[in-house]
Structure 1
Amino acid sequence: MIFSVKIKYNEETAHFAVEADSYTIAEAMAHRAAKVIASEIYEIDSITKTQIKEVLLDSQKDEIKYFKAKVSYMSVTDSGKVKKTKVTILISDRNISGAFNSSIDFASSFTDSAEVVGIEETDMTDFFDEGLLLDLELVGQVKEMADNMMDDVF
C-alpha cells in the first residue's frame, strides 16, 4: 500500500509517499523519513492511504517531480465478463511528458486497449520504501561515525 505523508518542520511542510503493509508501519516509516528530511524537531501532520497501486521511479535524481496518472484498461473476470479497470500510479520524472510516456509504457504492458485517462503533477517531493530508508539511515550512521573519528583526531 502507498501512503501519503505530510510533515511540518522549520515552518515548512514536506509531502512524500511511503510504501508500507499497514498504517502502523507507514507511521514508523514516516518518522524515519522525517529524520532524513527534517531536523530533529518535526511534526507528522497527516498519513493517508492512497489509491496508488504502482510506483514507477525514474533512475535520474536531478530535478525530479512526482506525477499521479490514471490508467484504464479492459480485463476479463474469472466469470468471463469484460470489465474496465482503472489503476492509479505514481511516477517520478523530470516533466509531465516523460511521466506520460512512462504511464503509456506501463498501460501497454497490460493490453493494447489500455489508455492514460489522466495525469497531474503532485506536490510530493519524495518516495520512500523500507529498503531506501534503511540505506539512508546507514549512510547517516557512517557519516556520524566519520565525523566522530575526525573529532577524535583533531
Structure 2
Amino acid sequence: MAPPDNFDPYLHEQMGRLLAGMEAVNKSIERLEEGARRSEDKATDSRAVVHRRMDELVNRVAGVEQVVAVVKEDVSEMKPVTEDVRHLEEDAEKLKAAVKDMKPVTDDIKRWRLMGIGGLTVIGIGGMALGVSFADAMKRIASVLIGRL
C-alpha cells in the first residue's frame, strides 16, 4: 500500500512522540497514584497507632484518677488519726513534765523508806538487847531471891 498524497512523515512522527509522551504521562500518573495510595495507607496506619496510643493513655489516666481518688479518700480518713496522734504527743509531753516533777518526791520517799527500815532495825536490835538484858536481870533477881529462900 502506498502512502496517500497528503502523507506528512513529520506529522506522523509528532503524533508518535505525542502518544509516547501521553503514555509516559499516564505511567507517571499511575506512579503518583500508587505513591499516594501508599502514603495514605501509611497515614492510616499511623493514625491507627496514634489512636491506639491515645486509648492506652486514656486508660492509664483513668487508672491514675482512680488511684488519686483512693489516695485522697485515704488522706481524708487519716486526718482525724493525725490529729489524734498530735494530741497524744502533746499529752505525752505533759506526762513527761509531770513525771519529771514527781521524780524528786519519789526519790525522797524511797530514802525515807530506807531510813525507816534502818530505824526499825536499830529499834529491833535495841529492843532485843533490852529484852535479853531484862530477862538476864530477872534471872539474877530470881536466883538471888531463890538463893535466900
Same fold per TM (> 0.5)? Answer: no
Q: Relative contact order: is structure 1 or structure 2 higher (C-alpha 8 Å, sep ≥ 6)?
A: 1
Structure 2 length normalisation: TM-score?
0.21
- Indicate the structure (1 or 2) with the bigger Cα radius of gyration: 2
Q: TM-score, normalised by structure 1?
A: 0.20
* Structure (1 or 2) with the greater helix fraction: 2
Give the strand-richer structure, 1 or 2.
1
